[in-house]
Structure 1
Amino acid sequence: MNNQQMKIIEKVQGLLALAQDKKNDAEGHSAFLLAQKLMAKYNLTKKDVDEAGAKREIYDHPITAYKQLNWWEKQLAIVIADNFRVKCYFRAKKCDEIQNKESCIIYYGTKEDWQLARNLYYLALEQLQFYSSNQIKNQCLESYRLGFISGLTKDFNDQKNENKNLMVQSNFPAEIIEFWSNRSEQMKNTDEKIPTVKDAKAYWRGVNTGEKIQINKKKQGIANEN
């Protein structure tokens, strides 16, 4: 099975998972019909779709060590996860007798997607740290980081909008959508204290940089290294 066929099967798997999750509404019905059309167009059987999904290994591993995570490390991890087919969550543990906690970032996805998303996270983090190192004042630095992450998010959204016929959910492998639905029910939501913009100029400098670093275009080179 070549890469093009695998991409089509992944789209079908994602659509079928979405249809199953929203079986009683119009979105689910539309997803099911689109999946059927793709299967007919590319001469795929249910067996083809099921077997392709069954062969892939799912990773549920940390991408960082336990430490005091900064808000911008967490937000950057979420942005990368949302755009490169993995789910992101954080695990905390007590690190001393005073009840202080350390956390790690965990990605959940197929082995290939986990490896790519992890590498892209560190690439984006390296870029953020490099460009933000020129921001001297702390107030300016935090605003710059906010802008950088906003710019990166906008760049990803613009790329998605170039192909409006595909639903974002269809990019996730079916087994990830299915298993994550059950796994996430056991997790607690936490409120992250994200700073507000206090230096508008620094913020927009960050936005401009985040839009232009083109993490997505570095994806192919990283994928070829794995």
Structure 2
Amino acid sequence: MNESIKAKIQKLLTLAKDATDEESQTAMLHARKLMLKHNIQESELISDSVNNKTVVNERIYRNKLIWWHRRLAQIIASHFRCSYYKNTVDSYQSEIRFVGLEDDVQIASMIYNFARASIHYHSKVFLLRPEIKRKWKRKHQFKNDYIEGYLAGLNRKFHEQNNSESLELAIIQDALVIQYYNSLSLTSNNIPSPKKAGDDAAWQKGYHDGQKFERGREMIE
């Protein structure tokens, strides 16, 4: 049974590398579910020799960070066996970095960058709604309400996925990852709170859109 599962995962990972963006995302997520559920590392798919785990510290995104860039990183990292932190580059730019086993960081990075593009796209569409355009002076506050809702919906979706597939224990970080992350001796990772309008309708719309993540890839430029 284990060899059969490994063969299936290997086919999914091959598809993820060769397929279109939408197919790649679907294949990678399916592979990740099986790898977590059966505690299989990618290195096991290549060889039956001793598994040498590799902890990596990779830059996922670099730019002027907005509050939700970090909140999203926090959510994705927690569901994909990684840790995240912000690294300041200069007065204009900072980095989002993920720490985890090499296979986990690869998958988390892909999901983070697609989710980031998805939030950017859907929040722009939300601002075009007539009831929001009439309140243009406070549009950024309504946008923050929407994004907070989206993040809550996305987080809820991952929790439901893990519960339905009994992955609660499988998403626990490897001890080597925890040891490495603690060795970085990072300062506080607090995320600043955005200025919001406190609009429940905007939050609910974001929550609904966040829960639809993965159902189909939009054509995002």
Equivalent residues in 2 for 1:88-103, closer than 5 Å: 88-93=84-89, 95=90, 100=91, 102-103=93-94
Q: How many residues align?
A: 169
Range with greater deviation from structure 2 (159-168 or 194-203): 159-168
- Counterparts in 2 of 1:8 and 1:68: CA distance versus 1, 3 Å: closer
The question of whether the paired residues in 2 share the 8 Å contact of 1:146 and 1:197 is answered with no
Give runs of aligned pairs for residues 78-97 of structure 1, distance below 5 A: 78-93=74-89, 95=90
- Residue 178 of structure 1 deviates from its aligned partner by 3.6
What's the TM-score once normalised by structure 2's chain length? 0.65
In 1: Cα distance, 2:67 partner to 2:112 partner: 14
Kept in 2: contact 1:10–1:173 (CA 8 A): no
Partner of 1:150: 152
**Structure 1 Cα separation of the partners of residues 96 and 201 of structure 2:** 30
Contact 1:92 1:102 in 2 (8 A): yes
1:177–1:142 Cα change, 3 Å:
same
**Distance of 1:10 and 1:164 partners within structure 2:** 12
CA contact (8 A) 2:39 2:170 kept: no
Q: Residues 161 and 197 of structure 1: is their aligned pair in 2 closer, same or farther, counting only changes over 3 Å?
A: farther
1:78 maps to a residue whose letter is Q
Output the TM-score relative to the length of structure 1.
0.64
CA distance in 2, matches of 1:139, 1:124: 21
* Change in 2 beyond 3 A, CA 1:124/1:165: closer
Give the residue type in structure 1 aligned to 2:177: I
Q: Which runs of 5+ in 1 are unaligned?
A: 12-47, 219-226
Q: What's the C-alpha RMSD, in Å, of the aligned pairs?
A: 2.9
Residue 193 of structure 2 corresponds to residue 191 of structure 1: no
RCO higher in structure (CA 8 A, sep ≥6): 1
- Unaligned runs of 5+ residues in structure 2 are 7-34, 41-47, 128-138
Give the drift of 1:176. Answer: 1.8
Pick the structure with greater CA Rg.
Answer: 1
In the other structure, the counterpart of 2:16 is: none
